[in-house]
């Protein structure tokens, strides 16, 4: 693993001005960085799978400027991970590189571009990047090149995983709007959403997300979904997340890590995730770099 994953290293703090011209320029810089990376991946035979901001800004919002972003995120199928990583680190400086977690961050003309081989964090969900990509469809109209577009239900689950990963309190400001729009778009596929969440071990995690959305925005759509998920598979976990989220306990940072590790409803994955975090932190304590 090389360097630290800190957006401040590249002075990527959001501008104080909300001038739309400034936001448009920022969006274009990220789009150009995305196009640079996509070109390299296409030449290497790696499918281009944009996720989160760079994609949702164009698929959920009338104007991409309405959905600001700090970086560019892409999914990479497991069979292509080694190739994609090699192509990017040969051209750009790696700021964060972990083979174990299958995550790579590079700086492309001052913009962070992240490759992800896991959904949120490893073992957070049973659902895999390969599974999501397998349900994706070809899109030849959004960008100047072909990309694979995630199914909207999968994108909703991905954004929920990211909110869970950040302990809700640390979630980016745009996440609630993304989740609301995605749930609205998938309103006629609620049964599919529930089935996928439960199969992925995310029944409790999705319930916690719905409760957070109701508390944050008063969303009636998410309130209805929360009722359909109630009671969550593990009520004690939902209570724990609610307590820390609302009280912002001094030990919150540690609680976020623990809460994330214990999110999955599959017991084996919960303990595997906890063991992984403990091992990686132990490696750091002795002055070594986790793989």
* Segment 61-75, tens digit of pLDDT: 999 999 988 899 999
Residues 6+ apart with CB under 8 A from 225: 183, 190, 193, 206, 210
In this prediction the pTM is 0.91
d(CA 151, CA 139) in angstroms, rounded, equals 11
d(CA 217, CA 173) in angstroms, rounded, equals 12
**Vertex 181, ends 177 and 182: CA angle to 5°?**
115
Q: Do 202 and 127 meet the contact criterion of CB atoms below 8 Å apart?
A: yes
- Give the lowest-confidence range in 113-117, 147-151, 261-265: 261-265
CA-based radius of gyration for the chain: 19
pLDDT tens readout for residues 233-261: 999 999 989 988 888 665 667 777 888 88
Structural domains of the chain ordered from first start: 1-150 (3.30.460), 151-291 (no CATH)
* Burial class of residue 112 (count of CB atoms within 10 Å of its CB; 0-12, 13-18, 19+): buried
């Amino acid at each position: 693993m090389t360097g630290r994953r800190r957006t401040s290293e590249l002075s990527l703090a959001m501008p104080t001005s909300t001038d739309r011209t400034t936001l448009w320029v920022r969006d274009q810089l990220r789009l150009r960085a995305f196009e640079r990376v996509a070109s390299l991946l296409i030449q290497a035979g790696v499918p281009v799978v944009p996720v989160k901001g760079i994609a949702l800004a164009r698929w959920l919002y009338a104007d991409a400027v309405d959905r600001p972003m700090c970086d560019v995120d892409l999914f990479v199928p497991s069979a292509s991970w080694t190739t994609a990583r090699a192509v990017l680190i040969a051209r750009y400086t790696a700021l964060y590189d972990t083979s174990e977690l299958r995550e790579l961050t590079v700086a492309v003309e001052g913009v962070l571009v992240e490759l992800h081989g896991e959904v949120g964090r490893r073992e957070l969900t049973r659902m895999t990047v390969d599974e999501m990509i397998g349900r994706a469809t070809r899109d030849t109209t959004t960008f100047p090149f072909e990309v694979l577009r995630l199914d909207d239900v999968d994108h909703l689950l991905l954004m929920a995983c990211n909110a869970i990963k950040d302990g809700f309190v640390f979630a980016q400001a745009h996440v609630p709007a993304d989740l609301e729009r995605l749930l609205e778009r998938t309103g006629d596929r609620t049964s599919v959403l529930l089935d996928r969440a439960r199969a992925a071990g995310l029944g409790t995690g999705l319930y916690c997300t719905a409760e957070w959305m109701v508390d944050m925005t008063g969303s009636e759509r998410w309130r209805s979904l929360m009722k359909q998920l109630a009671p969550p598979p593990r009520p004690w976990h939902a209570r724990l997340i609610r307590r820390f989220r609302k009280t912002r306990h001094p030990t919150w940072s540690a609680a976020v890590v623990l809460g994330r590790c214990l999110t999955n409803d599959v017991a084996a994955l919960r303990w595997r995730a906890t063991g992984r975090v403990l091992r990686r932190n132990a490696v750091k304590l002795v002055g070594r770099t986790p793989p």
